Chains A and B, each alone.
Chain A
Amino acid sequence: MTSVAALMAWPVILPLLGAVLALLVGRPGVRLVAGVASVATLMASSMLAWEVAHQGVLHQSIGGWGAPLGIEWRADGLAALMLLTIALVGPLISVHALDHFGDREDREFLPLWLFVWCALNALVLSADAFNLYVTLELTTLAAVALIAVRRDLPGLDAGLRYLLFALPGSLCYLLGIALLYGAHATLDVGTLAQRVQPGPVTWVAAGLVTVGLCLKTPLFPLHVWLPPTYTGAPTPVTALLSALISKGSFYVLLRLWLEVFAPVMDAQVGQLLGVLGAVAVLWGSALALSQTQLKRVVAYSSVAQIGYMFLVFPMATSGARAGAIYLVVSHAAAKASMFVAVGNIHQAVGITALGGVQGLAYRMPFTFLAMALGGISLIGIPPSGGFIAKWLLLNEAIGTRQWWWALVLLVGSLMAAAYVFRILRGSFLPLPPGVTVRSIPLGNELAPLALALIALVLGLVPWFPLDLLAIGASR
């Protein structure tokens, strides 16, 4: 094995090994195995990112079979940044999960999360359209098991709902890929990009791929499964779904669209995706504002934040690409922090209504500090990753003379401010009498804060991620 092969294989192999070992050792050792696997995968991901930052794009043919026939893996700056995001955000969420679950779920949550991690890393590194389908499905299956990890009715219902929306999504994607293979006789994304021609086959294939991935991400109006699934899943799992798993399908869409479809598609299609994204921003924010359950506010906010990411398609410039990716990363940290904070609040007072936060800012300062910092990134106030992302998108909207997207960004930010402040305002009211606040382990209070700090640091030192994601951007 050459060193490049090893570098690219470890981020996938280590979580897989960890997951299998964690399943085998059972209760006493599961936390130790998962902890070691997480640290090792973080190190492997960082080493790969370091190598990409210094050497440029890395290629690897699995099993030594080259691109037209074999499966190609490719690590560019975007892939490296995604690996780092998953490796930082995921383990912090699982730290929170330790005290959230009982013994049995703990034993099952950790290996399942490692399986999701393995699948996501393989997805990020894959440069083969069919391999992308397999990794998408692996992610879905592991995610469904995670959602149902409690084996209670709401969890099972949410898991099945997710499965039955994700399956047609990946099948649409697969049919699109089959059409592309039929027309161009290749599955390698790079070769496809060279061979596609404008024409009915490409348009139908692009439509199927786009609809399928939008269903999984989800983009308005295909988001109907999201609020019930996010609400029914255990809170740490919701955090994983919103922060990382939904980004997997968006990542595939971004890659295929920018690298393969954009040059041969009519600009109107990009505009249509942008319009749907804009409606998602406004509709998701409006619904987030009208929710009475805390977790649903944060869930609908995800619909809106995903909407912003789709604004990349009508602009399709390298600046807009950077903005959308920056939003993916900072939303991963900020939204994970908010969901984990919501989990802490539920654990402390056992109230799921929005009013349950009353007076808690004084009792759980770290949780609400995290909520506020995460909220700042969602709104896009500096300094935060969300601000940098929206700034980049705003610049491109004006630079490409599509001022209407700028308007969407601004209105969306105002609405985000409204629903974030709605949560924070309640927390500073006096604690209502008769409410007992259970104390939360310190680790659980610090996990969301660490996540929120990642979103904050993304706003303070944007050079490193921005330089990284520019590597291999245009082929």
Chain B
Amino acid sequence: MNPWVLYALSGVALFSVGLVGLFSHQHVVKRILASNITGSGVLLVLVALARRVPSGPPDPVPHALVLTGIVVSVSSTALGVALARRMARLQAQATHLPEHEPRSDGEGP
């Protein structure tokens, strides 16, 4: 087996593990981490694909895609964590100060 196939298959395995984690956990932080693992799996597949022709220099295009993919992944993780933190703070406030009951739907005056 070519080494790149091994790397690509590990990427697919990571991707699957991440997906299972994403849909089997309730905890928000675990789900954000799982989506990160899913993303890393895809990026690993892309890195491996660059070597699919064994002779000559590796294909630079997948590497460029991986760089873009990392930027997207960092931004989405950061956004997810920021939302989760804000939510945790609001939930803590809601339990300490019951008079500030959060509205049960998105509407209000």
User: Which A residues have a C-beta under 8 Å from some C-beta of B?
Assistant: 69, 130, 134, 137, 140-141, 144-145, 148, 150-160, 163-164, 167-168, 171, 174-175, 178-179, 181-182, 185, 187, 231-235, 238, 293, 295, 343, 346-347, 350, 352
Contacts and interface: CB of A to CB of B under 8 A. Distances in A.
A242 to B, nearest CB: 14
B106 A171 contact: no
Interface of B: 8, 12, 15, 18-19, 22-23, 28, 31-32, 35, 38-39, 41-42, 45-46, 49, 52, 59, 61-62, 65, 68-69, 72, 75-76, 79-80, 83-84, 86-87, 90-91, 94, 102-109
5 contacts: A156-B83, A156-B87, A163-B79, A181-B61, A295-B105
A185 B49 CA distance: 10
Given A134-B68, A167-B76, A168-B35, A153 B107 contact: no
A293 B18 CA distance: 35
A182 B42 CA distance: 13
Contact of B87 (A130, A150, A160, A295): A160
A164 B35 contact: yes
B107 A346 contact: yes
A181 B22 contact: no
B81 to A, nearest CB: 10
A231 B106 contact: yes
B90 A235 contact: no
Nearest to A167: B35
A16 B80 CA distance: 23
A134 B75 CA distance: 12
Contact of B106 (A130, A140, A160, A233): A233
B76 A153 contact: no
A164 B104 CA distance: 21
Given A164-B22, A235-B107, A293-B105, 15 more contacts: A134-B72, A137-B72, A148-B83, A152-B103, A153-B90, A157-B87, A158-B106, A159-B83, A164-B80, A168-B35, A175-B15, A175-B41, A238-B106, A295-B105, A295-B106
A144 B80 CA distance: 9
B40 to A, nearest CB: 10
Nearest to A343: B107
A168 B19 contact: yes
A69 B105 CA distance: 48
Nearest to A175: B42
Given A152-B90, A164-B35, A144 B106 contact: no
Given A141-B79, A182-B49, A164 B103 contact: no
A141 B75 contact: yes
Contacts of A152: 90, 102-103
Contacts of A130: 65, 68
A295 B94 CA distance: 25
Contacts of B105: 154, 231-232, 293, 295, 352
A316 B20 CA distance: 33
Contacts of A154: 102-106
